[in-house]
Amino acid sequence: MQPVREPESDELFEMANLFPRTTGLPMTVWVSPRGNTRHEVRVKLNMSPGDQMTVSNTAVVGVRPTPHVIAGQLSPDDQRAVFAWVSLNSAALVAYWEGRIDTIGTGPAAAAVPPAWA
């Protein structure tokens, strides 16, 4: 697994925070549009619980073809919950990545993970 690199300032500007009350996950999730990146669709997760995002304390999860950890580490319980959430929301995550929905549309389009996974 690769270490998580620090995002560029323009990448931070483009990212949308999805808080635990929206996702049902214990941690904040960052989603972003493709922009000028060359990598596939992915989300960044804060490793500390709650409504916060510490750039130096993140994990990166790829969306396609199936959820997978790209960088950082998730506990087994967090990994199950995050993978369930990404699977449940892959269409909305890809639509945001591809610019078919905007930041305002991403929150309502993203479903919370069922409590059994959280």
What DSSP line would sit under 94-110, residue for residue? HHHHTTSS-HHHHHHHS
The whole-model pTM stands at 0.80
Spans in the chain with pLDDT lower than 70? 1-14, 104-109, 113-118
Q: 98 exposed, middle or buried (CB, 10 Å; 0-12, 13-18, 19+)?
A: exposed
- Give, rounded to a whole angstrom, the gap between the first and last alpha carbons of the chain: 24
The overall average pLDDT reported for the chain is 83
Instruction: Report d(CA 78, CA 107) in Å as an integer.
Output: 21
**Per-residue model confidence (pLDDT) at position 52:** 86
**Per-residue model confidence (pLDDT) at position 14:** 63
